[in-house]
Amino acid sequence: MRRVRIFVSSPFDVEFERQRIDRVAQRLNGVFADIVRFDTIRWEKGFYSAHASFQPQIEKTEDCEIVIAIFWSRIGSPLPEDFARMPGGEAYPSGSAFEVLTAIEARRKGDHPDVYVFRKSEPPIHRIDQDDELVEAKAQLKALDAFFARWFRNDKGEFLGAYHDFKTTDQFEDMVERLLRDWVDAHIDHDHTVPWPIETMGSPFRALLPFDAKHAAVYFGRDRKVTRAIEQLKRIAQDERSAPSGPASIAFLLIVGESGSGKSSLMRAGLAPRLTSPGAVANVDLWRTAIIKVGDEANPFLALARALFVAGKLEDDAGGFGAALPELREGRAPTPELLAPLLASGTDGKRAVLEAMVRAAQG
């Protein structure tokens, strides 16, 4: 099995896109098991000694096989005065620019890394609290435009270097997956059938059993329905936040169909993994999923409580959903049996769940 390192370069305004690269890498590591393993290099995951600034301690892009750079509204943080400069003595515009330009130069001199640059074309969203923050945001965008005009596309519209536009985080994830699949086909000899490690993942042919989150990579043909469902949920949630008064809407989706038509699979393998992807819903950074069958318990509130207490890790969870809300154990109802009557009462149960959600967000 070949190990392929992907260096992820970007300022902090595209954090969701950075997370999506991890998601794609994890998914393809399952698809191409025993053939290739993608390891993402993200500087924020490391620890750095205080004897120097960050950039000199970050792994060099030229030591990786692939570099994926993402830009939106920022060029990135400036580098120290004593940091290495461009061949003509000019300072690099930022740390991200340094990573991209040195990677391109290394590729021109050798056979790696392969450098792919993406830029988000949606208008940037600036959360500005003070005038100086607005000035800084405008300066960052101006510097980024100048960077692209100099190295990628000039004022005449001529392309100096290839890059790719994208609008949404979902579109970016799809583009990165196609990019990495094509990269594997071009650089690694392998059978073009899609491998699925049955020994560890089980059979991908589910018969009458539903597809779960771990089968998302082999769940095909329902993209339009999944997208429509997510848009409906997001629209209801947005209406609730913007309503000045009156009864609140509830972001609730009912999937109806005949027995065996694929309702459970649509939710488990299509909707849930996509909805809980980083950046799928604005302003939501952390998702938890609880799976409940009301008929599993004579008391439906006890069934809900047991589902909420699930603490499984993704790698240990047979369905691939991971933990639900095990932080409930630290609250006023530390067992499902104690939580169930609170859920039945309404207000107390809601308070217990909200408190656990706060603990999850903080931890």
CA distance 103 to 97: 10
CA distance 92 to 253: 50
Q: Is residue 199 part of a domain?
A: no
Q: Is residue 117 part of a domain?
A: yes
Judge if 236 and 293 occupy the same domain: no
pLDDT digits (tens, 9 = 90+) for 248-307: 556 778 888 888 788 888 888 888 887 877 666 766 778 888 888 877 788 889 999 998
Contacts of 277 (CB under 8 A, 6+ apart): 20, 23, 169, 170, 173
Question: For residue 244, what are its two tokens?
Answer: 């000045």
Q: Is residue 334 part of a domain?
A: yes
Pairing of strands 66-71, 164-166: unpaired
Judge if 21 and 127 occupy the same domain: yes
Judge if 166 and 248 occupy the same domain: no
CB 275 within 8 A of CB 230: yes
Q: Is residue 340 part of a domain?
A: yes
Judge if 64 and 213 occupy the same domain: no
Give this prediction's pTM. 0.64
Judge if 157 and 119 occupy the same domain: yes
pLDDT digits (tens, 9 = 90+) for 198-253: 665 666 677 677 788 777 767 776 777 877 787 777 777 665 555 554 455 567 78
CA distance 112 to 103: 8
pLDDT digits (tens, 9 = 90+) for 110-154: 998 999 999 999 987 655 556 677 788 889 999 999 999 999 987
Q: How many domains does the chain have?
A: 3
Q: Is residue 142 part of a domain?
A: yes
Give me the domain span that covers residue 58. 2-187
